[in-house]
Structure 1
Amino acid sequence: MKKQWLKLFAGVISFVLVLTACGGAKEEQKAAEGNQNEELPPVELVWNFPLSAIPQDLATVQEAVNKITKEKINATVKLQAHTFADYNQKMNTIVASGEKYDVAWVANWNWDYLQNQSKGAFLELDDLIQQNAPDLLKSMPDFVWDAAKIQSKIYAIPNYQTVTKKEGFVIQKRFADKYKLDVSTIKKFEDIEPFLKQIKEGEAPDVVPFLNDKTGRFSLMYQSQGLEAITNVVGVELQNPDKPINLLETQQYKHYLDVMRDWYTKGYINENAATLKNKNDIIKTGNAAVQFHNVLKPGGEVEAKAANGGNDVIYVPITDAYASTGTVITTMQSISKNSKNPERAMMFINLLNTDKELYNTISYGVEGKHYKKVSDNVVQINKDGGYAPNANWVFGNTFNAYLVEGMDPSVMEQTKKENESATKSPLMGFKFDNTPVMAEIANLATVIDEHLPGLDTGTVDPNTNLKVFQDKLKLAGIDKVIDEMAKQIEAWKQTK
């Protein structure tokens, strides 16, 4: 009996020693992490990013963000939000003036990634990632990183989300129900016209049947037209991806213009489309019945509802999911070449992509004030809380996000499945280096700014204005851009 008691006592002591050792190891690890943070001198980072509107209570969220970043990387972050409509101009001004910033959102459709990298605006990030954000590499598939590279180097971190596009209509459900819209009849963008006629006759003048703005919708319809853009005016037909063409000289573009002109003259398109800078000014009022979009992502109807004044919407896709270099680099974070704290900036981007607490704070705000939790991973947004950016894809890895109440719980799995199964572009990974034709690109931009808003919105007659536009594009040097792109595609193919 005594021997058994001694054995039991010895076992208990051993168990206690094991627990003590484990606890000590955890404490040592915690202390080491704390010491590492203490070894970092305090810094302030400045982060520029765009939103539909500047949130009223951004200051509260900044304070909450800084509690996290101060503890994790001994840094505070100044959140500089701009509107999407102003972002390109604001960032160009910031860079030109030498104003201090560390991190900035960049894309291929707003404050252009390739163009600004060619100007030397961004730091090369490969070494910074390896040294300060090793978890970041594992958080996204290889093809996402490949799409982000420019001449084999990374200059911006993709915000991993849906990396496909699917074109189609965003339609307010109340109107679809009221006019008994049969979505099965909509196979092409023109097929929506009978519904627009019903909206015009039944809801005017308060409701816009088809919302358009100065950028037009043709650039959102490339896939359904059998096209892929490489710059804003030069791309390829998918059936002949080796031969770049002027997208604005195609039959598809002429057909689009004819339809838009017809819709505009019938009153289906908002009269101010050619001068409308920020379409969200109309969308948020709930007065846009139909919109055309090229990213009808799984679960996106919940975000679209919030953007449309709280009105339910339905998605009506006219294409399948498609992935290209352009669909990956639609939302990214870069580090300024003039940042005084590039290592800490990279640590911050790493947190945005791997730290759920930080990511959900910047995406949804402060719990109890800006949102409340319905369950562990589902939140209900407080519309009157002063912070509802409705744009978690701007901030980081969306797979770390809470689900918004009403969103399908399987949306993350659906998105990953679409990412993996989407049709891949024949030019996946190709990026056009516009350095040899920068003067022509600048000239083309001037011509486009002058003529495209009127044409693409149907405001002016293409029969009298399209030829003038196309002639000016030729004078601006579009053929030289096409020739340069053809050379680069051929050289790129040799490396495959």
Structure 2
Amino acid sequence: MTSIRRRTLLKGGALAAFGIGTGITLAACSDNGGGGTGGGGGGGELDTSEAVTVTMLVLGDKPTNGRLEAMLEQLNAKLTEKVNASLELFYIEWADWQTQYNVQLLSGDSNVDLIGTATDWLFAWENAQKGAFLPMDEAMLSSYAPQTWEQVNSEGHWELCKLPDEMIYFIPEDNFTQWTNHGFFYRGDWATEAGIPNGEITEFEQFTTYFQWVKDNQPETYPWDVAGTNEAALTGFVQGRTEYQVIQQVTAGIYFPFHTTASDPTTVTSYYMEGDELLAAAELAREWNEIGVWREDAVNYDGDTREEFYAGLSGADQHHMQTFLGILHRMPNDQPGSDPKFFYWGKENGNYYRDIKTHGAMAVSANSRNPERALAVYDILRNDEECYHLLNYGIEGTDYVIDDEGKRAEPEGFDAATDALGSNFWYGRMDELEIPSATDPDNKQELFDGLDANAKDYPYERLVVDKTMIDSTLAAMGAVLSEYIPQLQYGKFTDPAAAIAEMRQKLADAGYEDARASIQTDIEALDA
């Protein structure tokens, strides 16, 4: 269900071609200017006679500490020398990010050139179908991003970035190893005190024991200080108790309402609509609410709950393995003896997945005035070691230092909460250009290997869902889910069974079955 990445396991070999439903519309290629091809096809000599600014759209809150601007000043001097271009970053901030991201991409804004995207969480296929991305061919990519073309081509991964028209719509971040499987972070010292052997939680329900102990013995602490719209209490339970797997390409609002199962991967279903697992999860959440696991107004709370965890005022936090690596570094200093641990969803039954290679990807805007120069800049950012280090880490000596072991460390007095670079380049990282971090735990590889041992490959990496006829249905389903899921997550329904039955009827009325049948057609076409 939750996806994770391990690049090495799928290296080599393009996957088979596939088809999808009809009704895809693509924006026509217009003259983009900048002395280039004007469409998405064809190559040639890069024209650098005119200085241009390439604007890259990234996700995240724009930093205000001046470090980004200082880094860009040095980076742009190098980009100007190489391709007579400079880089600017355009931020889609986390507040209402999903809505704002899609609105920006379909706005026709010609001031954005490069767009950070992904097929599992940033709607890449959907936005490609709607004409937000410039379709590109081999000649264009090999001419203006030659190093990137060769690396991706050598591993056979361009097929993962094509629509049926055989044009390429984005560049995969296929050469970077990370794990983003979600779960709970918790304190091993408190779990031991709660009577859990070795402080090692091995089943989701054991958090009831842990949370109750925190409530009884740490009166200043919320057992799980959680903020805002959330469904981890539901998805974490269901994932470890079933073989459901999320179809990542389909969202209804902020929710992923369609699933298959490992034993029947070609039949589309939904645990929001079928079975008793959601009810069992909701009843457990209701028990947690009665214990007082979270704030009474958690759904409306907007505080920094991770900082509460660091401060010893929350017994748990929820995010993915990459974040846990940071927890392992900082928590022993903030809370000595806390022995932080990670319980990931699906740990009980091995129901978790490796990240797809388009979990991070880079597209060229269909409205870019300078698509060729944008590709050339991206090629440098992805492959030039000096520029890569500037964009990802900042200025050596100011944003980071290299310690005696050759690892990247924080300068003296550095505070990540206020001093972070915030460039958020998650769309073209490369293993061979990474500087190992001094904050990574010594057992990082052991943690990764442990996850890798039982993880599964996501079966729908090439799935493109045609949403032409179901967009309005998905929006209506999203409205229903946003009404019920947060209340189920926080255990607010006196009768969760009645609430789920009511939700399911409203989803049916919204057109669930029509949407399910449409996606079923696309799943079947994948192997046709």
1:372-395 deviations in whole A, cap 9, x for unaligned? 111474111243375425786625
Map 1:8-407 → 2, pairs under 5 A: 39-51=48-60, 54=63, 56-57=65-66, 58-99=68-109, 100-108=111-119, 110-127=121-138, 128-140=140-152, 142=155, 145-151=158-164, 152-160=166-174, 161-162=176-177, 166-172=181-187, 175=190, 182=197, 186-209=201-224, 211=226, 213-217=228-232, 218-219=234-235, 223-224=239-240, 225-230=242-247, 231=250, 232-249=256-273, 250-276=275-301, 281-285=304-308, 286=310, 287-293=313-319, 295-296=320-321, 300-302=324-326, 305=329, 313-317=340-344, 318-319=346-347, 320=350, 322-323=352-353, 327-375=356-404, 377-382=406-411, 383-384=414-415, 386-388=418-420, 394-399=426-431, 400-407=433-440
Q: Is the 8 A contact 1:51 1:83 kept in 2?
A: yes
More strand by share: 1
**Contact (CA 8 Å) 1:284, 1:307: kept in 2 or not?**
no
Moved more, 452-461 or 216-225: 216-225
Contact between 1:392 and 1:401, CA under 8 Å: does it hold in 2?
no
Task: Give the alignment's Cα RMSD to 1 decimal.
Answer: 3.6
CA contact (8 A) 2:75 2:390 kept: yes
Farther off after superposition, 411-420 or 126-135 = 411-420
Q: Does the aligned pair in 2 maintain the 1:379–1:404 contact within 8 Å?
A: yes
Deviation, 1:214, is 0.4
Please say which of residues 367-376 and 180-189 is displaced more in the overlay: 180-189
Residue deviations 1:116-158, cap 9 Å, x none? 2222111123443222223224445747544444435432223
Pairwise CA distance, 1:186: 2.8
Query: Counterpart in 2 of 1:458?
Result: 491
- Select between 66-75 and 206-215 the one with higher mean Cα deviation: 206-215
> Who is 1:11 aligned against?
none
- Structure-2 separation of matches of 1:355 and 1:301: 27
The structure with the largest helix share of the pair is: 1
Report deviation, 1:407: 1.7
- Give the alignment's TM-score, normalised by structure 1: 0.79
Q: Give deviations 1:371-425, integer Å, cap 9, x for gaps.
A: 2111474111243375425786625315122222132578579869977994223
- How far 1:474 moved relative to its partner? 0.9
The answer (yes or no) to whether the contact 1:196–1:210 under 8 Å persists in 2 is: no
CA–CA distance in structure 2, aligned partners of residues 244 and 112 of structure 1: 20
Tell me which structure has the larger Cα radius of gyration.
1
Q: Which 10-residue stretch deviates more, 438-447 or 307-316? A: 307-316
Instruction: Say if 1:215 and 1:456, in contact at 8 Å, map to a contact too.
Output: yes
* Structure 2 unaligned residues grouped into runs of 5+: 1-44, 251-255
Shift of 1:468: 1.9
Seen in structure 2, the aligned counterparts of structure 1 residues 55 and 229 have a Cα distance that, compared at 3 Å, is farther
Q: 1:358 to 1:457 in 2, by over 3 A?
A: farther
- Answer yes or no: is the 8 Å Cα contact 2:462–2:526 preserved in 1: no
Q: 1:47 to 1:219 in 2, by over 3 A?
A: farther
Query: How far off is 1:180 after superposition?
Result: 7.1
Q: Are the counterparts in 2 of residues 162 and 416 from structure 1 also a CA contact under 8 Å?
A: no
CA distance, structure 2, for counterparts of residue 80 and residue 124 of structure 1: 22
Aligned residues: 454
Match of 1:20 in 2: none
Q: Relative contact order, CA 8 A, sep 6+: which one is greater?
A: 2
SS of residue in 2 equivalent to 1:187: coil
**Cα pair distance change 1:271/1:56, threshold 3 Å:** farther
Query: d(CA) in 2 for partners of 1:209 and 1:153?
Result: 47
- Structure 2 Cα separation of the partners of residues 97 and 449 of structure 1: 26
Deviation at 1:229, TM superposition (A): 1.3
Q: Which letter does structure 2 place at the counterpart of 1:255?
A: A
| TM-score, normalization by structure 2 | 0.74
**Greater Cα offset, 230-239 or 354-363:** 354-363
